[in-house]
A and B are shown apart, each in its own frame.
Chain A
């Protein structure tokens, strides 16, 4: 059963799974991480950090080699985008970033995303 939608503050952190091909050679995030079907993803799936743990967010990739992208809600809202909690039975922390309709926004989202390797990522997959 899905949980009730949570309030999301500017200080909240979101997790976005990043495949190896979502990273530039220097380790920064490529804007392809925010595109779906070759277009800007208008509903970007992310996890609300305060309702999950890094290892669970990573485990949803189903295989190793992924990284975790961290975004601050404040930075996302500064781009004119909205964040909505959209819990599912399988993932109570699920949220969507809405309003990304341009390549520019995808690029800006990539620039505010910090990629990290969760310490336990290799252990949980």
Chain B
């Protein structure tokens, strides 16, 4: 059974990576449509949704297998699904590290707290939502890892800059921003940062 895609969902994205077929959908709308198992508002994973034999190209990879769909009888291009694949991997990774046990690092590290997971989820979702239409896959974090003491560390990379975001046990943010490369690079770090400030910083890195 092929999915029927509703139209007119929120604003359009102008990302050139997207095929014309997808161009009228926002990221959360796409995630919903392709059954990426996220709550549209928060990005929190939902219960699995079972597909029922959608037609798909023979060259589709496993991820595309799961989310293959058609709009107006035109298939979605596999290449245009990469950002969703990255996002799915990131959120699956967040789920996984939420379950790391005590002493995960062999130095007595504690697993991420619920507050840290929630704040990370919110930040990633907010940034992907705001930036996906502009920078595509780069809106998705490069890495996401537990931080000893019950926190999480997330990293975004751009052409020249990098930002490490720390989310502590209480769900509060800090960051290390690295400008440039080689001898010319500079470092800037700060704790107790508002999400809005981080969003601006990450936007500057990946844009």
B45: CB under 8 A from chain A?
A: no
Task: Establish whether residues B105 and A22, one from each chain, have CB atoms under 8 Å apart when the complex forms.
Answer: yes
Total B residues in contact with A, Cβ cutoff 8 Å: 28
Give per-residue flags for A20-44: 1 if the beta carbon is below 8 A from chain B beta carbons, else 0: 0110110000111101111100000
Chain A residues near B38: list those with CB within 8 A: none
Task: Establish whether residues A38 and B189, one from each chain, have CB atoms under 8 Å apart when the complex forms.
Answer: no
B32: CB under 8 A from chain A?
A: no
A15: CB under 8 A from chain B?
A: no
Task: Write the nearest CB–CB distance from B172 to chain A, whole angstroms.
Answer: 10
Tell me the bound Cα distance from A45 to B155 in angstroms: 25
B106: CB under 8 A from chain A?
A: yes
Task: Write the nearest CB–CB distance from A5 to chain B, whole angstroms.
Answer: 22
Of all chain A residues, the one with the shortest Cβ separation from B157 is A24
Tell me which of A37, A39, A66, A107 contacts B176 (CB under 8 A): A107
Chain A residues near B109: list those with CB within 8 A: 19
Give the contact-size bracket for chain A: 20 to 34
Task: Establish whether residues A36 and B148, one from each chain, have CB atoms under 8 Å apart when the complex forms.
Answer: yes
Tell me which of B143, B146, B168, B178 contacts A25 (CB under 8 A): B143
Chain B residues near A24: list those with CB within 8 A: 142-143, 155
Of all chain A residues, the one with the shortest Cβ separation from B100 is A21
B147: CB under 8 A from chain A?
A: yes
Tell me the bound Cα distance from A21 to B148 in angstroms: 11
B residues touching A (Cβ–Cβ < 8 Å)? 97, 100, 104-107, 109, 142-143, 145-151, 153, 155, 164, 166, 168-169, 174-176, 178, 187, 189
Tell me the bound Cα distance from A61 to B100 in angstroms: 15
Give per-residue flags for A98-110: 1 if the beta carbon is below 8 A from chain B beta carbons, else 0: 0000111011000
Chain A residues near B148: list those with CB within 8 A: 32, 35-38
Task: Establish whether residues A103 and B166, one from each chain, have CB atoms under 8 Å apart when the complex forms.
Answer: yes
Instruction: Apart from A31-B153, A62-B106, list 13 A-B contacts with CB within 8 A.
Output: A19-B106, A33-B105, A35-B148, A36-B107, A37-B149, A38-B149, A38-B150, A39-B149, A45-B107, A61-B106, A103-B164, A107-B176, A107-B187
